[in-house]
Amino acid sequence: MRTVRALATLLAGGLCLAPLLAPPSPTERRDGLLGPFAALAAELEWVRFQQALERGEEARALALAEHALALAPHSTAGWQMLAAHLGYGRAAPNAEPDLARRRAWFEAALALLERGRARAAHPEELELFRALYLVSRAEQDPELVAGGAPELLARARAALLEAARLGSAQAAELAPYLEATPAR
């Protein structure tokens, strides 16, 4: 009798916890047993990412960032953080003097933003980030693309218009200023 009661208590407790492990809607998927703790686990991975960067462990840092994004793919801030590291950190002229490698990091940052756009909770913020990143590259490192600053600014304008179309109020406000920016 004691075993049956213990089993019934365990089953009842499991049923009480089941809603915590289930996604709130059919469109939001949670990874494995982490369920509602996936976002917390992702935050811990971002801390480990920063620590690995500080130790100069680039490959480990990138693996940790990818794992964090897998745990919480809806985290717009996560996609922005890794894109900033790739685009501003790794693709910067002072970090990478070789143009071919800088271009590869630049393209990796843009590809990451594209991948994130399909998964992030706020794709309009990633498009706005892309636009501002492209403007900064047009001003600071125009040789990243064959068309130089004019091509980068044209791509920035397209990203800004897309961000506005997706609902970014900031992008809509910035669009006229970028239109007035002359290509060098």
Q: What's the pLDDT score for residue 35?
A: 73
pTM score of the predicted model: 0.79
Query: How wide is the angle at C-alpha 144 spanned by C-alphas 109 and 52, nearest 5°?
Result: 35
pLDDT(4) > 90: no
Indicate the range of 13-17, 90-94, 125-129 predicted with least confidence.
13-17
Q: What's the pLDDT score for residue 22?
A: 39
pLDDT(177) > 80: no
Give just the sign of the alpha carbon dihedral 132, 137, 138, 139: positive
**Do residues 61 and 90 make contact, with C-beta atoms less than 8 angstroms apart?**
no
Q: pLDDT by residue (tens digit) across 22-67?
A: 344 333 444 445 777 899 999 999 999 999 999 999 999 999 999 9
